[in-house]
Amino acid sequence: MDPDYSKRQLYSTINAGGSFKWTMKVQVMTPEEASKVEFDPFDVTKVWPRGELKPHPRSLTPGQFPMQEVGELELNRNPEDYHRDVEQAAFSPGSLVPGIELSPDTLLNWRAFL
């Protein structure tokens, strides 16, 4: 068993001029909808119902929050300084686009201000 295989394959492929792409999708819920659903939308152990999936028998609101494609995530260069480029990357929840606010999710708020 090699737990680092995927990381090495990613690094080697990018180093050889390749890249990896993923479609990025989000689910959107308004504050009004969040107050009306029968689950805690900020509970990291819950999965929001999606429109393109068959409704699960225990799902209270099947298809209410469909996945919406917002773009593509592409990895096409390896980090030069691992700490600077990976550990403190723009993926940090503390690096927000102006106009975007944090949700009341406790875990997210804790991570944003480390």
Three-state SS at 88:
coil
Is residue 94 within 8 A of residue 110, CB to CB? The reply is: no
Give the contacts of 79 (CB within 8 A, at least 6 positions apart).
Answer: 85, 86
Indicate whether 94 pLDDT > 70. no
CA dist., res. 23 & res. 70, Å (int): 8
pTM score over 0.85 = no
pLDDT band at 34 (very low <50, low <70, confident <90, very high): confident
Calculate the average pLDDT of the chain: 81
**pLDDT tens digits, 56-69:** 555 444 568 888 89
